[in-house]
Each structure stands twice: as structure tokens, then as C-alpha cells.
Structure 1
Amino acid sequence: MEAEGHEVKVAFGRWPDVPEKYQRFAHYIGSDFEVKLHAIQTRLFDTHGFGSKGATREFLKWAEEYKPNLLWLHNLHGYYINVEMLFDWIKKHPEMQVKWTLHDCWAFTGHCSHFSFVQCDEWKIRCENCSQMRSYPSCYLRGNVGKNYDRKHNAFTGVPNMTLVTPSKWLAELTRQSFLKEYSVEVHYNTIDLGIFKPTASDFRERLRATDKLIVLGVANVWNNRKGLDDFYELARMLNSQALIVLVGLTKKQMKSLLPNMRGFERTNSPQELAELYTTADVFVNPTYEDNYPTVNLEAQACGTPVIAYDAGGTKETLNLKESRVVPVGEIEELYQGVMKMRDNKFKNMGGGGTAPSR
């Protein structure tokens, strides 16, 4: 945008260590102390998004002096800003164009950022009884779900010049069913760096000692039941020794509990290494129970590896290879059959004519 003659600033909370080349763009909101205080208030009283008053006051003073023509919002949850104060300031500047990219559902619920896993639809009317109080943003003492819903509704509605942006048609449709339905919604898919994620040769197959096996890959920032970790264990039992499951993003504790036909890696900070793993795999499996627009599916396919995934959220919108497919959420048997079809095709192409194993 600078190259087109615009002046640009990025205001953000958390992790203030900004690389030197970006420092002239950056404005850090708040402090580590205020983030921790906001988090403690959330844990005790379920007031996520309504703390950080001092940090927000200071930021809004800076924003008032900067006077942006366009304000582009992203995630407002994360213990760093007070959303009521922010939107009160926004509404006082009706001439300012506002865009808000939603990356999850937190903006229109009374507590959670996702609700597909628990199949809740209270958000369509008014959240009152949340079954996910211990999920992000966690609260362990007193829930405040109904009041949170009302406060968000009052804060986020009535902005005269705001457009919502979502990375999937799935999330766009949810916003149209929520109290944000007064706003127009644009869908802009997330993209990946095709200069990095492309077919990339490596010796990973040899290092994994899997030259004669089907390699099934899974990648996540955090592995838990919502991401399908238990389903991977079940899939490993079904596949037995004829396939190797490789999971990236595990903790040291999780790696100790892997089955014999599973291998684990901690989170990698090397996109190049990740591209090598994607390319090595015969199939990428994504058994997530809830997601907006999983870019890991894009990365795997860009490296030439087909995807089999649960039909959760905007997952089907990410599939672009002919061999990729979705299966119903939680249907491990269909996941298994899809993987075995990949195996049969692999050995058929090699002239081996593989068959599905007995269980």
C-alpha cells in the first residue's frame, strides 16, 4: 500500500518484539502486565474482550491523532483491547471506512470462538448456557455468557460504514444468521506462499524408514480431540503396519504415547521442512471437527498431496485436487476407506496391485 502512495500503520497486542524492518509500521497496544490482568479477569469472571481499559485508552488517543481513513480490524480477542471502548470510538467517526475480517465465531457468541464441536446454536438467538466455559477463552469461576452476548450485540451493531470479511463462505453464512446480519459480507480466501509450498524433494521417506509404506500426514498447531487426535489413534489401529502415520505439532508428552505405526514431530518453524513432509506424504488427513478455512489443506495440495478431511466448517472450500475429498465428521470408517483407496492407487501405479488389509 505504501508503494501506491498510502500511509500505513499496524496496531497490535501481544509479543512486542517486532523485526526492525517493520518497526516504522508498528504500534504496540498495551503491556504484558495488562494482558495478564485481562487474562486473569477472564479466568475468574468471563469478561474476555472487556478488560484492558488503560491499554485501549492509550491506543485510542494515538488513533485519534493518526486519523485513519480506513480501519481494518482482525482478531479482537486475545486479552489486549476493550471492544466496547474501541467500537464506541469507531461510531464517533462515521466518515471512517471500517472492514473487519472474522477468523472465527467469537464476535457473535457469548463466550466461545467455535461451537460446531458441541453442536450449539444458542448464538442465533441469545447465548445463555455455554457448555464450553473451560475452552478458550477459559473461565473457571463465574460465567457471564448472557451479559457478554448482550454487550457484544450492543457494541458491534450500528456501525454506519463497516463491511465484514470472512475467509470462507461457511463463516459468511453464519454471520448472516447472527446479530451481525446488518452488514454486507465479502469472502476472501486465505492464500499460501506457492514459492515455498510446492513439490519439494527430500530424504524424509528414507529417514522415516517407510520406503515400502503408505505415509499418512497430519499437521496442526495444537493437537487435541477437536483437531482429531483421538481419531488418528483409531485410524492407526485400523491401518496397522501397512501404513505410517506422521503427525507434526505434537507436544513431548503426546509423542510418548504414539502407537508403533506412528511418528511425531514437534512444531516446525521451517516452512521448507514442512513442504518436504507434505511432498513425502502419500495422503494428508485432516480430521478436524471444527475449522474456518484450514490452510494446511492448501499447503498439502500445493505440494501435490491429496487431502482427505472431515466436512467441517469451510473445509470443502479448500479442496482443489481431483483426488481430495471430504467425509462426514467423525466417520472414521470412511476416513479409513479413503486412505486405503489412496494406498491401492499408489501400489497399482507402482505395479504392485495392493489390497486393503484385514482388521
Structure 2
Amino acid sequence: MRSLHKSLAACGVDSYIFWGRRHETISGHEQCFATRCGYLLHGAMARLDDRAGFHSKYDTARLLRLLDEIDPDVVHLHNVHGYYINIEMLFGWLASHRCQVRWTLHDCWAFTGHCPHFQYVGCNKWTKGCSRCPQRHGYPSSYLLDSSRRNWEDKRRVFTSVPAGRMTLITPSHWLEGLVRQSFLKKYPIEVRHNTVDRSIFKPTPSDFRERYDIGDRFMILGVSSPWTERKGLGDFVQLSEKLEIENYAIVLVGLSKGQLKSLPKDMIGLKHTDSAQELAGIYSTADVFFNPTVEDNYPTVNLEAEACGTPVITYDTGGCAETVGAVRSSTVLCAGADVATHIEAMREQCIVRL
């Protein structure tokens, strides 16, 4: 979002960006509109009433006052969940204003009664109307009520209140586009715009990573995620480590929590995070293969980053993953649950032959 803002400003467009969490206000054109108290209260309320997106009235009113002052020609939305905005108030403003609306969907939350993804649990209730959500305890977590049916009905009413001629939906993958066309948002025009990465940063980059972690000439398998969960395939890496001979292979995971680092098998190398994108580019470049075993993802940019650094990718044919690979010839898309160890062993043998 900030990259787009900078590009527009460089072209002379009077651009503003707003966000709700994690970063402080930078300038009058780059502002955090929500308060820490506001999003903490929103998150606490959602855990009780399962109404994520329907609190934060004070913070949303502040944002709408800013929008009134700006009187924008175009409002480009990204994620509108995360405990910092009231969607009824926001879309009420959008529906009554003259502006064009562009909305980039980064997941499925806009057309479900609760979850941002449903592929992992195989749920299709969102097509007709959610109820008895099988992922109620998953983000956005609710520990008391199940309001998935009410949320689905309210989202359908709220998100379709903007006239079809004034709102265009943007998806980063054809996979997500297909889902949107089955949802209550199907009346809106949809454009597919694949995400990109900064190739001035993500490119083949020299690194002493192998020396620092005593990897030597072992075949290095890299995984990167933040956070790591079972849906991101952490268990697949553990299983992989049990099948491969440690003297020939090094499995490196970046983005682990402190608890995950403690429980990681001793023959795997784990890091919490990198200090910079340039350092991460060096790690990508050092790896022999990047393995992304995610079982539900829209359009994972980590695959793009790895290939931009010249590293082949192995990923599952889930979500929009297949659309992210192909820039490196050795990159491969496998069915979820495929024998990855055998495929990696074959890759290593090919490398030995080439050497």
C-alpha cells in the first residue's frame, strides 16, 4: 500500500494512506487513524461476540472526518479487518460519497461469516450463508458466541451497498477471483493484478549464511513464513527432516516464534526473523531450493521473492500458489501431501551431476 502511495505521489497525484495498527503516523499524508485502546477493545469484544469489523466506532469516525476533509476522487481499500475499523460506518460513507472505490482483496474474509480462509477445513457455507462456523476459535477468534450467520448477512448488506458502477474488486490471483465470482460480491467488476516484489532488493545476493551456520556444501532447503502455523506447513518440514539424511541436507526455517525454536528438531536450523530484507535476499540466494508447503494461501509473495533471487520453488497446488512460480525453470508445483523428500533428493542428484 505504501509502495503504491509513493508511486502515485511521484506522478503528482495527491495521495493519502491510512492504517490502523503497528506503525505510528509519519506525516499528514501517511497516518495511523486508530488508537491502541481502540483496537485492543475491538479485539476483546470480538472474542466475546464474534463481531469483528463491527466495533471501533470512535476510531472510524475519526477516519471519516479526515476523508470528509480530503474529499477523495478514489478510495482504494485493502484489508478492512484487523480490529481497527467499523465496516458499517466505512461503507455507509463510501455508498453516499461520489468517489470511485477500488478494493484489493487479500483473503476471503469479505464474503464469509467469520474466517479469512476456508480451504483447509473444506467449508463451503459461505456460498449460501454461514452458520456454526468450524473455525470460530481461529482468527478472528471468538470464544463465546458464534455470530457467523449474522456476520454473513450483515457483510452482504454492507459490502454490496456501494453501486456496482462505482466499485471494482481487485484480486492478486485468478484463484481468488474464481471464489469472488461465486460470492455475494459477484455483481462487481473484478480485475486480477498479481502481487510483485521489489527486485532492487530481491535479486541474487552474496551471503556468508552457509559459513555462519556451518551448512557447508549440504543441500539447503529453506522455508520462510511469519507466523509459522500448521496451515503454513510447519509439520511438513518436521516430517521432511525425518526422511532426509542430515549429513547431506540442511533445513532452514525463518520466522519462528520462541516456543517453536525450542521445540524444533535439533537437526534443523531455525531463526526468529532477519534484520533486513537485504539479509533475507541473501538467505534466499544461498538456498538450493525454497519449499513452501502452505495449504491455503492467496498469492504468497515468498515464492516470488525466492525466484527473484534465482532459487527454485517447490510448493503445493493450493490457493493461488501455482500462479506464483515459473520464473525459475526447476520450480515445481506438487499436490498437497506429495512425496517431497523424493523430489528434493532428485533435485540434489541433478545438482551433483551438473557439478
TM-score by length of 2: 0.94
Asked if structure 1 preserves the Cα contact closer than 8 Å seen for 2:24 and 2:32, the reply is no
Q: What is the match of residue 138 of structure 1?
A: 141
| Mapped pair 1:40 → 2:29 | no
d(CA) in 2 for partners of 1:108, 1:211: 48
* 1:231–1:45 Cα change, 3 Å: same
* 1:304–1:79 Cα change, 3 Å: same
Q: What is the match of residue 103 of structure 1?
A: 106
Q: How do 1:2-151 and structure 2 match up within 5 A?
A: 2-19=9-26, 23-93=27-97, 95-151=98-154
Q: Decide which moves more: 242-251 or 1-10.
A: 1-10
Q: How do 1:1-359 and structure 2 match up within 5 A?
A: 1-19=8-26, 23-93=27-97, 95-160=98-163, 161-241=166-246, 242-320=248-326, 321-331=328-338, 333=339, 335-350=340-355
- One-letter amino acid of the counterpart of residue 102, structure 2: K
Asked if structure 1 preserves the Cα contact closer than 8 Å seen for 2:92 and 2:161, the reply is no
Cα deviations by residue, 1:78-106 (Å, 9 ceiling, x for unpaired): 1111001111111112x311000000000
Which residues of structure 2 form unaligned runs of 5+?
Answer: 1-7
d(CA) in 1 for partners of 2:61, 2:316: 43
Q: Decide which moves more: 223-232 or 4-13.
A: 4-13
TM-superposed CA distance for 1:218, in Å, is 0.3
TM-score by length of 1: 0.93
d(CA) in 2 for partners of 1:174, 1:106: 12
Which residues of structure 1 form unaligned runs of 5+?
Answer: 351-359
d(CA) in 2 for partners of 1:292, 1:126: 22
Report the identity percentage: 49
TM-superposed CA distance for 1:2, in Å, is 2.9
d(CA) in 1 for partners of 2:13, 2:285: 40
Q: What is the match of residue 4 of structure 2?
A: none
TM-superposed CA distance for 1:27, in Å, is 3.2
d(CA) in 1 for partners of 2:315, 2:224: 12
- One-letter amino acid of the counterpart of residue 271, structure 2: F
Counterpart of 2:28 in 1: which secondary structure? Answer: coil
TM-superposed CA distance for 1:5, in Å, is 3.1
Q: CA RMSD in A?
A: 1.2
TM-superposed CA distance for 1:16, in Å, is 4.5
Asked if structure 2 preserves the Cα contact closer than 8 Å seen for 1:100 and 1:165, the reply is yes
Counterpart of 1:226 in 2: which secondary structure? Answer: helix
TM-superposed CA distance for 1:107, in Å, is 0.2
Q: What is the match of residue 5 of structure 2?
A: none
d(CA) in 2 for partners of 1:28, 1:272: 27
Counterpart of 1:268 in 2: which secondary structure? Answer: coil
d(CA) in 2 for partners of 1:116, 1:283: 26
Asked if structure 2 preserves the Cα contact closer than 8 Å seen for 1:289 and 1:330, the reply is no
State the number of aligned residues. 344
TM-superposed CA distance for 1:249, in Å, is 0.5
